[in-house]
Structures are given as structure tokens and as C-alpha cells.
Structure 1
Amino acid sequence: MGLFSKQFANVVEWEEFRDDMIFYKWNNKEIKKGSRLIIRPGQDAIFLYNGKIEGIFTDEGDYDIESQIIPFLSTLKGFKFGFNSGMRAEVLFVNTKEFVTKWGTQNAINIPTPSLPGGMPVRANGTVTFKVSDYVKLIDKIAGVRQSYLVEDVRIRITAVLDQLLMKWIVKEGKDMFNLQANSFEIAEGIRADLDMQLFDSGLSVTGFNIMSFNYPEEIQKMINKNASHSMVGDLGRYQQIEMTEGIASGKVRGGSTAADMAGMMMGMNIANQMLKNMNEQANLNPGQQTGTGQNPSGQATSSKPNFCPDCGHKTEGANFCPNCGRKLI
């Protein structure tokens, strides 16, 4: 008896486990007397009989099916193994971890904007995180007709509706078309909620959605970069002067060209203006260094013209004779 019992024994387990596989269905063998169930970390085992859930086992371990599993099954708890017959049941193994997959827009999305009649063509990419949340829905919609289910299957399903969701949440609150990255968190949260509803009936739950970048056409991106650089400079005239000066110093702008001649003239005018400004400032700081007695600090007499005529009081404006009465002033 022991010999035949050992011959019929088999192992119910997730064969050829793949990290990107969401579930695997064991149903190609008959469960015999002496069979064992192996549940590994990160797996749940669901016993199915005639398409109906008989029991869900979540603790990892190595179990004797006859003594440790069958007593907990709904309609098979009194099942007795025969000598030549076994139990024809299915076991669905479910991967309980969170899955992360990358996504990207299949085509450029033309976002309506007043500045571009045909819309702004935008592409985007990022990651989405999901997991199995409802075994009943999973079996009813997917596992009932499939032997396994991969992350790639879910990614294809997500990307099929992602373009429409991106357009919906970009347009919804009138986002700045030229600075979508600043609003990426709000856009991503809206898409995550909508995707979660899309996968709800399949027993899957979207736990995270991330937008890594928005990509514009090359011409639009150049305009955005140029506008950003102008904003950072502030004084555009001063920026142009600095760029011209650095160009001459580096040899990028050479003599003999119109640009070089203009740059040289501008530099000369700037130097002359600066010298004149310095002279005026010096004159204002030291107005003749005159004393009240008409003498300089060394004691020598100095000639000075009065600002007003001593006779008529008219302003002299530095003249040798009063322009009103004609009196000699020096």
C-alpha cells in the first residue's frame, strides 16, 4: 500500500515562477493521495472546484493536502481519496507584490491651445504601480479563461486609454501648456484615480502613477529654453553688451566685420562716458578747494569771480563783466 501511495504522490506548486507574472493556474494534473501544497513567500494559493472558490491560503509553507488543506475547503471538506482516483481541482497561485511598469504615450497628443490652432503636440512617459486587490473579480474576469497573466498584459491595457486620460487632465484645469511639468503631480493624481476605476472590475488596483517628463517638439522646446534664458538675464541690453565683449575677447568676433566695428564703437563710447562721469563726480567733490578769503591752502591769492554782481545783484554766470550793468567782475 505504501508503494502505491508514494507512486501517486505529487506536488502542487507554482512551476517556473516569473517575477512579472501576476497569477499562475495549476490545473494540468489530478491531485492524488499524499500530494503536498507548497506556498512560497509573496504567494497566495486559491483552491477552485468547478470554477468556484473553495479556499484561500495565504501563509507560506509546505502542507499535506489531505490533512491540512481539504478540511478547510467549502464543499470538499469531507472528500476522501480513493486508491486509484484523486481530486480534480484547480489551484490558482497569485503574486501578492506590487508591480511597477513603465508607460509612454503611443503618439503625440495634440493639446488644444489658443496660440497654436492645430494644438500643442506633447508626449509623456513615467511609471505606474498596481497590485491584485480582489480575487473574486480577478477569477471572474481574467483567471477563469487564462492560465497566466503578465505585467505586460496590464501595461498594454493601460496605454490603450492613457492618451485620452492625459488630454482630459491637462485640459481640465487650463494648465500652462509650456510648463506642464510644474503641474505633473495634480495631473498624475487625476489619471491614477481614473485608471484605478478602469481596472477595478478586473480585481486590480492602481496604487501609484508618476509622470517623469513631458516632451515637446524640438522647435517648441527651443522657444521655451530661449524664453527661460531671457527671464534669467533680466537686463537684456546689458546681457548683449557682455556677450559682445566676451566674443571679442575670445576671438569669436573679429576685427573688420560690422559686428566688431559696432562693438568697438560701443566700448569706446562707454569708456568715454565713464571718464566724463568720473571727472564730473570729482569736480562736485572738490569745487575749487576755495577759502573764504580768496586764498588757496598755500596762502597765495587766487582770483575768483562772484556769482552775483556787487552793484545790481544780477547773476553773473561766470562772465568777466556783469551782463546787466556792465561792471567788471575781476
Structure 2
Amino acid sequence: MGTHNLVFLEVIEWFDPTGREMLHRIPEEGSGEIKFGAQLTVRESQAAVLFYQGKAVHGFGPGRHTLKTANIPILTKLLSLPWAFTSPLRAEVYFVNTKVFTNLKWGTRDPVAFKDRELGLIRLRAHGIYNVRIVQPLLFINRLVGTLGRFSTEDVEEYLSRVIVSRLNDFMGEELTTILDLPGRYDQWAERLRARLAEDLAHFGMSLTHLYINAITPPPEVQQAMDDRSKLGLFDDLNKLLKLKAATALEKAAENPGAAGEGAGLGLAFMMPGLLGRALTQDAPDPGKETTSPGGPQPPGAACPDCGRSVPDDARFCPFCGHHLVVFDQCPYCGKNVPPNARFCPRCGNAVAEKPREKKCGNCGAVNLPQAAFCDQCGERL
């Protein structure tokens, strides 16, 4: 800050050691005795306004200025002629810092009620940062600072924060339907909110150069509920995947029942037998229950007659190999279990509607098995 004394101010300048001072008046209290011809130095990031008798009479940009009538014609009317323009001038100089003030914080002091489309009535908190700059020094002095000797960002930060929150509340009420859509819209909202706040700050000669929304968050209990909902969705997708894999394996096993026990059924059993059983049935199978003969529906704990694995008590088909568990007869040719009302064996394709008769050799008269093609006594074709 420039030197001054109780009588004359000859060199007038100001430095901001804090980086947060927006305005400084010389002298800080009352008016000073500014000597006619005093040197006024204004830096690149500053502007200066000369006040005389409570009114602004001249503004100064960056550079070094001499307070004389040759440089400031209006001083001719202000100074006393009898003193031959040598008397001191009782006035004040306001230095305004025109740089961009960064990292000013805004945020909600209390949660704001909001009706969410998905979650119902919740309370939200929001916070972020913003940057401001003084673009009209005289308007800033007259409407916001007044007669204060110093003015910093601390004096205006809380007020601007409340203005931003107020505009944000109105904006959310118009644009937001659910907080689940928020994360990807922060930049868009910040730009539109900055444009809406431009008029509010222009009233005080300031400009909102940047505005950032860091987060809009619900209370901790609502965040926990959102996490639980995400987990439920994950488990539901996993259950659908298991059912799809089980259905695909059963379809392949039904297409090739002979190889089911060795191929698809064995691979599916090794993959996830416990989860697969729950995906196919509402209740998990109980392997400790008794088994019965293959002549009817399989009781609890029954084993598949084809692959030998334990199956649920209410299953009609083996979940591992696709074998039909409701059996009334067997194929007389290959011994495969035959489903009810079947006319042909699903394994060898022979007709099973009637029991085949024994074959008698026309050469030697020997009786042969129904499936024999040659006589087992003389070798003659049957």
C-alpha cells in the first residue's frame, strides 16, 4: 500500500497481499489530503476511482497518473482559485481489484426437500465452487461496498452462495425428475445456471465467469437404500442368467439323451449344481429322502435311472440328462425306459406298442431272441 500521512498524500498506490481483497480505499477512514500533482499508480489488474465530496469524479485505468488539471480537467472546477491550484484536495481514491477471484465455495446450509419420481420425497444437499470478477468498478462501489475502507471475498461469498442455491432450487424443480439421472448432467446444468445468475451479479457490477456443481447428494440413509436397490438388480440378473444356462443345457441333453450323462449333464453338474437346482425349482432338492422303483413318479431323493444323479421329488425329467422319470415300461430291445403311450423307443427306434415274438429258425427249429438276425444254433438268416 502506498505511503500517506496526516497532511498530504503524494504517492498513491495499493498492493493486495492476500489475493482475496476486492476493494481498498485510501485513506481507509474519512477523506485524505491529496496534494495537487500527487502520483497515482494503478496496476494491470486494478482500476481506481477518485471521489470528491462523496461523488465519483474520475476513473483511472492501468498506468501512472498525475493529479493535475492538465490530466484531469474536472479538477479545475473542484480546486479553489484563490490558492492558485496549490492547495491540497480533500478526497478519497478507491482501488478495485479486477482480477478473477477463484475457488469461492457455495452450498446448501440445510437439506432441500425434493419429490423424486423413483424414490419419493427426499432431501438433497448440493455444493460446488465458482469464480467472479468485477467488471463495473463504480457500480460495485455504489451498490455493494458503500463507504467501507476494505472489502474482500469473505464479505460477499456467503451472500452469493445463497443466491446460487436459491436459483439452483428453482432450476431443479423445473428440470429434475429423479436424482438417478444427475451425474451426467452436472456440466450442462452448471452452464445454464451460470447464465441465469448473470443478471443477479450484474446488478452489483460483477460477472460470474465460471460455476461448477461438485455434487448433489441425498442423506446417507437414502444413499444406502440406493445401494441396496442396485444389489437386488444384480442378483436378479444373475438368477436370469442361471436359468438361461440351465434351459440351454437341458435342450442339448434332450437332443442327445444317450450322451447326456457323459457330456452335457456332467459339465453342467460340475459348473454349478447347487445354484442350478434352485434356478429350476422353487424349493431346493432334499438328497436325504428315500427312493422307489422306476415304475412311477420318482419320490423325494430319487436317482435318475439313466445317469444316476439325484433329482427333485416333483421332477418329470432329469435336470442333468433330460431322462423321462415317469416310467410305465421298458424297451424290450435295448432296455431303455419308455414314456407313457410311446409307440417307439426313444433310443433304438423299435416299435414298443406290442411285445415282439420270439423268432424260430426255419432251418433247425431253434428258438431265438426277438432282436436276433441270425440263428444262434445253425447261423441261418432269420
TM-score by length of 2: 0.58
Contact 1:230/1:236 (CA < 8 Å) preserved in 2? no
Question: Are the aligned partners of 2:112 and 2:125 in contact in 1 as well (CA < 8 Å)?
Answer: yes
Aligned equivalent of 1:18: 18
Alignment of 1:102-141 (within 5 A): 102-113=105-116, 119-141=121-143
Deviation for aligned residue 1:228: 3.6
Deviation at 1:36, TM superposition (A): 1.8
- For the pair 1:182 / 2:184, whether they are aligned, the reply is yes
Deviations 1:81-113 (A, max 9, x none): 769731122211110111120111111111123
Task: Sort the Cα spacing of 1:185 and 1:267 in 2 relative to 1 into closer, same or farther, 3 A.
Answer: closer
Cα shift at 1:268: 10
Identity within the alignment, %: 24
Instruction: Say if 2:36 and 2:86, in contact at 8 Å, map to a contact too.
Output: no
User: Aligned partners of 2:193, 2:199: CA distance in 1, in Å?
Assistant: 10
Distance in 2 separating the partners of 1:50 and 1:26: 14
CA RMSD in angstroms comes to 4.1
Instruction: Give the structure with the higher percent helix.
Output: 1
Greater relative contact order: 1 or 2 (C-alpha under 8 angstroms, separation 6 or more)?
1
Name 2:274's counterpart in structure 1. 266
Question: For the structure 1 residues 163 and 185, does the alpha-carbon distance in structure 2 shift closer, same or farther, using more than 3 Å as the test?
Answer: same
Shift of 1:34: 4.9
Task: Rate the CA distance shift 1:34–1:164 in 2: closer, same or farther, 3 A.
Answer: closer
Alpha-carbon distance, 1:204 to partner? 1.1
Q: How many residues align?
A: 267
226-235 vs 198-207, greater mean Cα deviation: 226-235
What is the aligned partner in structure 2 of residue 205 from structure 1? 207
Measured in 1, the distance between the counterparts of 2:201 and 2:67 equals: 34
When residues 114 and 179 of structure 1 are mapped into structure 2, their CA distance, relative to the original with a 3 A threshold, is closer
Residues 116 and 178, structure 2, Cα contact 8 Å, conserved in 1: no
Segments of 5+ residues of structure 2 without an aligned counterpart are 1-6, 243-271, 279-308, 311-317, 323-332, 335-342, 359-369, 372-382
- The residue type equivalent to 1:58 in the other structure is G
Q: 2:38 aligns with which of 35, 43, 52?
A: 35
The whole-number CA distance in structure 2 between the counterparts of 1:216 and 1:76 is 61
Q: Is the 8 A contact 1:54 1:73 kept in 2?
A: no
Distance 1:83 1:15, change over 3 A: farther
Q: Show structure 1 runs of 5+ residues with no match.
A: 1-6, 241-263, 281-303, 306-313
Calculate the TM-score normalised by the size of structure 1: 0.66
How many angstroms apart in 1 are the aligned matches of 2:101 and 2:320? 72
CA distance 1:112–1:164, shift in 2 (3 Å): farther
Q: In 2 relative to 1, CA 72–143 (structure 1 residues): closer, same or farther, beyond 3 Å?
A: farther
Partner of 2:93: 91
Report whether the alignment pairs 1:75 with 2:78. no
Q: Residue 45 of structure 1 corresponds to which residue in structure 2?
A: 48
Measured in 2, the distance between the counterparts of 1:236 and 1:29 equals 80
Structure 1 residues 49, 167: CA separation in 2 closer, same or farther (over 3 Å shift)? Answer: same
For residues 179 and 119 of structure 2, what CA distance do their matches in structure 1 show? Answer: 11
Provide the rounded CA distance (Å) in 2 between the counterparts of 1:268 and 1:94: 75
Mark the structure with the bigger radius of gyration: 2
| C-alpha contact 1:196 1:205 (8 A) present in aligned 2 | yes
